[in-house]
Amino acid sequence: MPQLSSGGGDDLGANDEMIAFKDEGEQEEKIQENAFTERDLADLKSSLVNESESNSSPAAAAADPEAIRRVQDPQRVYQEKLPDHMEDGIKHQDTGMYKGSAYSGYPFLMLSDPYLPNGSMSPLSNKVPVVQASHGVHPLTPLIPYSNEHFSHGSHSPHLPADINQKQGVHRPSQTSDIPGFYSLPPGGVGQITPSMGWQSQSVYPLPSCGFRQPYSSALSAGATFSRFTHPLMLSSGMHTTGIPHPAIVPHSGKQEMDHYDRSMKPQPEPKREKEAKKPTIKKPLNAFMLYMKEMRAKVIAECTLKESAAINQILGRRWHALSREEQAKYYELARKERQLHMQLYPGWSARDNYGKKKRRAREKQQDSSSAIEEFRLVHPSSSSSSTEQGCYQHALVVGFSERTIGGKRSAFGTYKEKDPVPAQFLPMEVL
């Protein structure tokens, strides 16, 4: 996958070059079948970015006064219905560093899809209402393609049998009445929220098609400076500064290491237990593939009667490569929006904040990897250092690990057991 912007930009696609099971000839077939070249995809992504910039202009907004009205109405209703304590919270944000709600990022991102010229809606955004107020869904939902039709684009997905998309009974856990966010909401998240405060709440989020919009706050532009999570509200039980919970904020579950939050939180004289309960974790925004997995996992489970995520992810990984570039671009676009939204909601957040919990495990694996290479060296004494690693690489390929798994983060060749390949019947036709 070619890189689009070297300027640390907001590129749509992945940075890495696609490694797509060349041993199976899949990639070659894809290249032949696809009219899109790598360059085409890069152009497509670039155009998406450019269109984003151009369509977020006031001129584009002026072109659709009706859209503006739709924007303002729900916002007004929202403010009218806002509970007093919520208003206080928001008023509080109007001063100082929290000038403007961090949620103003939503309106910016939820304008009718800015990635098509003339304010027209992209196939994606056309399929994905900005906010499905009538269903009371998460404000992030516009970015969440949980409904099949969001991506069916008028036709079946090429990676699924035709009947799959038509099945109504396919289990779609993320699309139920539960929070349909990209981020898993903890049990205490929405559940502890009064009905008017939940993501699903229509009263608090009277968000018709245009969604929860407010004028984009320049205070949230890239130049805005925020300290890290200095607002206690933002750190409380998945609540944002507005008091509105965000699925990216996950209370301490015991799995998460939250020490890094303590350093940025002002000391609060409150009981220790209560304090611990309020420790949140802000998760990373999901990338394109993660979004795709969320969308397709239930289908694969239903289709293949598999439950083990590792196997499912293997299938999804192959199907991901089998997707057309246009279809992948949809997910890249969603992921890009997701990252934008995340950046606006948590300006000071860094992925590094969540680092640490696997460090020790990684060190152990590295040791295993070193010993595995040494073991290979013993078996192949003539191997030089580089060829030794190459030999391990090839050996691991034979054993059954994918290139990425071997060449990437898990290189403990010698410690892996042979695994069963994904059954052929579970693979998409494109792969077969």
Q: Map the footprint of DNA across residues 285-314, applying CB under 7 A.
A: 286-290, 293-294, 297, 307-310, 313-314
| Contacts to DNA from residues 179-208, by CB under 7 A | 182-184
Window 373 to 402, contacts with DNA (CB under 7 A): 401-402
Cα–Cα distance between 109 and 220 in angstroms, integer? 12
For DNA, the closer of residues 19 and 233 by Cβ is 19
Query: Token digits for 387?
Result: 């060829």
Closest CA to 200 of 131, 130, 129, 149: 131
Report, in Å, the least distance between residue 87 CB and DNA.
Answer: 30
Residues 25, 270: Cα–Cα separation, whole Å: 61
Residues 399-428 that bind DNA (CB under 7 A): 401-402, 404-405, 407-411, 415-416, 419
CB of 69 to DNA, least distance (A): 33
Closer residue to DNA in complex, CB, 189/211: 189
Least separation in angstroms between CB 432 and DNA: 17
Q: How far is the CB of 71 from DNA (least distance, A)?
A: 27
Whose structure tokens read 């929202």? 78
Please give the DSSP secondary-structure letter assigned to residue 6.
Answer: S
Stretch that binds DNA, among 4-12, 24-32, 76-84, 234-242 (CB under 7 A): 4-12
- Residue among 209 and 328 whose Cβ is closer to DNA: 328
CB of 291 to DNA, least distance (A): 9
> If binding means CB under 7 A, how many residues of this protein chain bind DNA?
72
CB 331, CB 289: distance < 8 Å: yes
What is the closest distance, in whole angstroms, from the C-beta atom of residue 284 to DNA in the complex?
4
Rounded to whole angstroms, the Cα distance separating 111 from 54 reads 13
Nearest 10 degrees: Cα torsion 417, 421, 426, 429: 150
Would you list the DSSP string of 111-170? Answer: SS-TTSGGGPPPHHHHHS-S--GGGT--TTGGG---SHHHHHTTS--TTS-HHHHH-S--
109's CB contacts (< 8 A; 6+ apart) are 143, 337, 340, 341, 344
**Subset of residues 68 to 87 that bind DNA, contact rule: CB under 7 A:** none
Of residues 154 through 183, those in contact with DNA by CB under 7 A are 173-174, 182-183
**Which residue number, 70 or 279, has a Cβ lying nearer to DNA?**
279
The distance from CA 373 to its chain's CA centroid, rounded to whole angstroms, is: 35
Q: Binder to DNA among 241, 281, 344, 388 (CB under 7 A)? A: 281
- Of 412, 408, 409, which Cα lies nearest the Cα of 392? 412
**Helix (H) or strand (E) segment spanning residue 410:** none
Nearer to DNA, 153 or 284 (CB): 284
Among 148-156, 162-170, 238-246, 317-325, the segment contacting DNA (CB under 7 A): 317-325
CB of 133 to DNA, least distance (A): 23
The site map against DNA for 226-265 (x = CB under 7 A) is ------------------------x---xx----------
Q: From residue 339 to residue 368, what is the string marking binding to DNA with x (rule CB under 7 A)? A: x----------xxx-xxxxxx-xxxxxx--
Q: Which residues pair with 282 in a beta bridge?
A: 249
Instruction: Candidates 102, 335, 392, 427: give the one binding DNA (CB under 7 A).
Output: 335
Q: Is 46 in the site for DNA (CB under 7 A)?
A: no
Nearer to DNA, 20 or 193 (CB): 20
Residues in 116-145 at the binding interface with DNA, rule: CB under 7 A: none
Burial (CB count <10 Å: 0-12, 13-18, 19+), residue 141? buried
In angstroms, how far is the first alpha carbon of the chain from the final one? 22
CB-nearer residue toward DNA: 44 or 67: 44
Both tokens of 373, joined, read: 């290479």
Provide the minimum distance between the beta carbon of 111 and DNA in the complex, in angstroms, as a whole number.
20
* Number of neighbours of residue 45 by Cβ within 10 angstroms: 25
